[in-house]
Amino acid sequence: MRFAAIQADIAWESPTENFRRLRPLIASAAASATRVVVLSEMFATGFSMNIEAVSEPSDGPTIEFLQQQATLHNIWIGGSFACRDNPAELPTNRFALVAPDATTHHYDKIHPFSFANEHLAYRPGATFTTVTIDGLRCSLFVCYDLRFADEFWQRANETDVFLIPANWPDSRAHHWKSLLVARAIENQAYVVGCNRIGEAHALRYQGDSMIIDPLGQVLAAASHSESILLADLDAEAVTKTRQRFPFLADRRTQTSPQTPTLYV
């Protein structure tokens, strides 16, 4: 099954402009027999803390856009946005994944990026989400979640593909690329990482989006320019990798090391 990651610039706090820019890119990906399209984190607005300006309900214009594109092109499509159904609560950074029939699944980012004060504007999610698409089990995470390997470990046995939209700046590009490959290798799963390009508020974004196979081999990559990454992913490749190298079975996630003996 073919996956696409659309690496694009984002017009600041302008959903209408971003939807206009993305429509031809989505159409191009769909024309390449793509089944699943991944957009970046906060693809409609940029990574804004101005929640009064950018947050919207779970049936707002961003979801409407994703549903329109999904049904128009007969694809699955997703990316994150600021979701706020209850005005009395902070919004969540929500990864919405929409099916061709407009059914919507979602994951709320568990780890707000406190280094940039995201935790002051967005409340954390509390549950994992895995969606099966034509036999491929896809688990959803967002950007900063990538640094927390234990949660990927918790989903590994039920996951063939990790989908990760991001706004990851080029000052830490080495971390982004290294962690994407690490999550693929250690969990023996595909990873689709979709990062933005461009500039926003003195930050530069390099892209470096990648699609990586269960052995850590990069199947598609792009840097700095608007790009559509394409790769064919196969659940059987995950199964065969895990059978050939049964490393996941050696994890001791339910045990704790013994207290060391101290000699004085």
Determine which one of 109, 118, 138, 194 is catalytic.
109
Determine which one of 83, 118, 138, 143 is catalytic.
143
Distance CA 191, CA 95 (A): 16
Task: Pull the structure tokens for residue 74.
Answer: 């007969």
Check if 177 is active-site: no
Determine which one of 41, 56, 83, 177 is catalytic.
41
Distance CA 72, CA 66 (A): 10
Check if 143 is active-site: yes
Distance CA 186, CA 150 (A): 11
The answer to whether residues 73 and 27 touch, using CB atoms and an 8 Å cutoff, is: yes
User: Which class for 234: exposed (0-12), middle (13-18), buried (19 or more C-beta within 10 A)?
Assistant: middle
Check if 194 is active-site: no
Distance CA 79, CA 1 (A): 19
Residues with a known catalytic role: 41, 109, 143
